[in-house]
Amino acid sequence: MTENLRPARMNKTRLLGRIHSSRTKWEKWLSRFEEANGEARMSEPNTPGDWSVKDVIAHITWHERQMLGALQARALIGSPWWDLPLDQRNQLIYEENLARPLAEVRQEASQVHAALLQAIEGLDEKDLHDAERFQGMPEKWKPWELLAGNTYEHYQAHTPRRKNRSHAA
């Protein structure tokens, strides 16, 4: 099974393990990038769409903050930006964080991530599978899949893969 395939069933230990594993890989990539390029380059556009690494950190944090709010409220509530097309939503997240300093973005990322993990740890196993435990969540949704898409799958999507160098000329 590859990392991107969702299992048929998820439990809290497995969900937290996937979050931790993928987050660790993402943070290692961030560290390698900073070591190779310096802290100043973290705020310079260098990824598709002219996003900086700082912008990607803020983007992921926005999604985690939304998940934290949903878990705390026990409801599928959040920013009205969810109703926008993906590109528009991402642009608003980008603009919201554009002027923020890297240190502030990193501090918020750490705090929100820790709070999200704590909120997930406080869930009952049934909370992961029963949409009725979250007001406004569509009946066919599984809460753990919403969490997966906005945590470990999101880290994977924003962790550049190393290129296979065996075919290099």
Domain made up of 22-159: CATH architecture: Up-down Bundle (1.20)
Alpha-carbon distance 137 to 70, whole Å?
Answer: 10
| Range with the largest mean pLDDT of 15-19, 42-46, 139-143 | 15-19
**Residue of higher predicted confidence among 8 and 126:** 126
Instruction: With cut-offs at 50, 70 and 90, classify the pLDDT of residue 68.
Output: very high
Domain assignments of the chain as residue spans, ordered by start: 22-159
Cβ 15 vs Cβ 143: under 8 Å: no
Find where tokens 């075919």 sit: 167
User: Cα(127)–Cα(72) distance, rounded to whole angstroms?
Assistant: 12
Q: Which residues contact 28 (CB under 8 A, 6 or more apart)?
A: none
Question: What tokens were used for 151?
Answer: 């945590």
Exposure string of 106-133, with b = 16+ CB inside 10 Å and e = fewer, is bebbeebbeebbebbeebeeebbeebee
pLDDT tens column, 130-142: 999 999 999 999 9
pLDDT for residue 47: 54
Task: Give this prediction's pTM.
Answer: 0.87
